[in-house]
């Protein structure tokens, strides 16, 4: 048998294997279709628009490819902007705080929920912890304003009645960062805990039974069975979180900035900056260049973090 026939048979074998796998798991692949379509429509097809980052784009142009090509001038403008360093610091600083606290909080919550043995109480705790995730930041902002407003807020009235001084934490320079981080963690902690609860449910119960027979306490079971069981999941979540470090929350930051210039300078990130420069300032090319920078930098971080995870013995995301 010559090389050509061997390659042909190998290719036919791979095709048969793929077709057999598709037939065997056809319903699972059907479930993938909505997600794949969403990804193609909103992530792959719009990719052609990145050429705007290398053009002097205007809305009056006949087509996206009829604009003046300026090379890396838009990137140079972004990096040389006097606001770039401060915005970069704000974005990374707040993202790191949210990532650190938002990484450990769901793990702790999942471990606490998993330790609850009363069924009805466990369901109530899960439901209550999930609810904030389904509230938009507009609703959260409205509730916060009712509670903390410096003039008509509930806490203002209580402090005034008690004769205490009161400062709105959402407008105070000393507390706004902490408030943004805490509110972001509070909003997403319950929903993020779902993946860890799923990981905990995959741990073999026989391991706990064997540990009990050996006289291990609940704390020892937690350290030597539960935590190692969810570490691979923690590694994947951490890798994906690192990739979004230059992203930042637009809706939350934009709402709580309001018209306070000082708060805006402290909390302005790439998302709100892109809105002000791109949509309000009609400088689409410059904000597209900024978006390319964020994507490339995020991809590099994911690759590096995934490589480090492999060095420590975890599978990573590929």
pLDDT value, residue 86: 92
pLDDT value, residue 66: 81
Cα separation, 243 vs 27, in Å, equals: 31
pLDDT value, residue 19: 78
- For 158-205, the DSSP string reads HHHHHT-----TTT-TTTHHHHHHHHHHHHHHHHHHHHHHHHHHTS-H
Whether pLDDT at 4 is above 60 = no
DSSP bridge pairs for 56: 68
| Nearest partner of 317 among 205, 230, 233, judged by Cα | 233
Cα separation, 318 vs 306, in Å, equals: 8
Whether pLDDT at 8 is above 60 = no
Rg of the chain in Å (alpha carbons):
25
Question: Averaged over 169-188, what is the pLDDT?
Answer: 90
pLDDT value, residue 13: 63
Cα separation, 306 vs 154, in Å, equals: 47
- Domains, the chain, with CATH or none: 1-71 (no CATH), 74-311 (1.10.3720.10)
Question: Averaged over 156-173, what is the pLDDT?
Answer: 88
Question: Averaged over 58-75, what is the pLDDT?
Answer: 83
Grade residue 48 by pLDDT with cuts at 50, 70 and 90. Answer: confident
- Could you read off the pLDDT of 265-299 as tens digits, one per residue? 889 999 999 999 888 888 889 999 999 999 899 88
pLDDT value, residue 75: 92
Kindly report the number of other CB atoms within 10 A of residue 140's CB atom: 19
- Burial (CB < 10 A; 0-12, 13-18, 19+), residue 163, is exposed
Placement of tokens 């949210």 in the chain = 98
Cα separation, 25 vs 13, in Å, equals: 18
Question: Averaged over 108-117, what is the pLDDT?
Answer: 87
Whether pLDDT at 318 is above 90 = no
pLDDT value, residue 67: 83
pLDDT value, residue 310: 82
Whether pLDDT at 63 is above 80 = no
pTM above 0.85, yes or no: no
pLDDT value, residue 1: 54
Question: Averaged over 5-32, what is the pLDDT?
Answer: 73
pLDDT value, residue 6: 58
- Write out the two tokens for 214: 């050996």
- Could you read off the pLDDT of 204-243 as tens digits, one per residue? 888 888 988 888 888 888 888 888 888 888 888 888 888 8
Grade residue 158 by pLDDT with cuts at 50, 70 and 90. Answer: very high
DSSP bridge pairs for 55: 69
65: DSSP letter: T
| Nearest partner of 77 among 107, 55, 51, judged by Cα | 55
């Amino acid at each position: 048998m010559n090389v050509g026939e061997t390659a042909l048979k190998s290719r036919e074998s791979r095709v048969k294997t793929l077709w057999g796998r598709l037939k065997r798991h056809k319903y699972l692949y059907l479930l993938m279709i909505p997600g794949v379509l969403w990804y193609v429509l909103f992530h792959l097809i719009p990719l052609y628009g990145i050429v705007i980052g290398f053009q002097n784009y205007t809305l009056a142009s006949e087509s996206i490819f009829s604009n003046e090509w300026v090379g890396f001038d838009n990137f140079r403008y972004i990096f040389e902007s006097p606001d770039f360093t401060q915005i970069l610091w704000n974005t990374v600083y707040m993202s790191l705080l949210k990532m650190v606290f938002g990484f450990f909080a769901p793990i702790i919550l999942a471990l606490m929920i998993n330790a609850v043995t009363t069924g009805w109480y466990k369901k109530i705790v899960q439901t209550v912890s999930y609810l904030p995730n389904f509230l938009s930041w507009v609703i959260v902002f409205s509730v916060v304003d009712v509670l903390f407003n410096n003039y008509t807020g509930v806490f203002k009235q209580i402090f005034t009645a008690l004769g205490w001084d009161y400062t709105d934490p959402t407008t105070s320079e000393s507390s706004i960062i902490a408030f943004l981080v805490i509110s972001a963690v509070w909003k997403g902690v319950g929903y993020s805990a779902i993946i860890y609860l799923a990981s905990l449910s995959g741990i073999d119960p026989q391991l706990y039974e064997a540990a009990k027979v050996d006289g291990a306490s609940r704390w020892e079971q937690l350290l030597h069975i539960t935590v190692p069981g969810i570490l691979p999941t923690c590694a994947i979540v951490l890798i994906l979180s690192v990739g979004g470090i230059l992203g930042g929350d637009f809706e939350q930051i934009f709402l709580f900035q309001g018209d306070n210039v000082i708060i805006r300078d402290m909390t302005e990130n790439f998302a709100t900056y892109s809105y002000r420069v791109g949509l309000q300032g009609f400088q689409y090319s410059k904000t597209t260049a900024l978006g390319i920078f964020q994507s490339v930098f995020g991809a590099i971080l994911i690759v590096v973090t995934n490589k480090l995870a492999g060095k420590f013995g975890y599978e990573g995301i590929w």
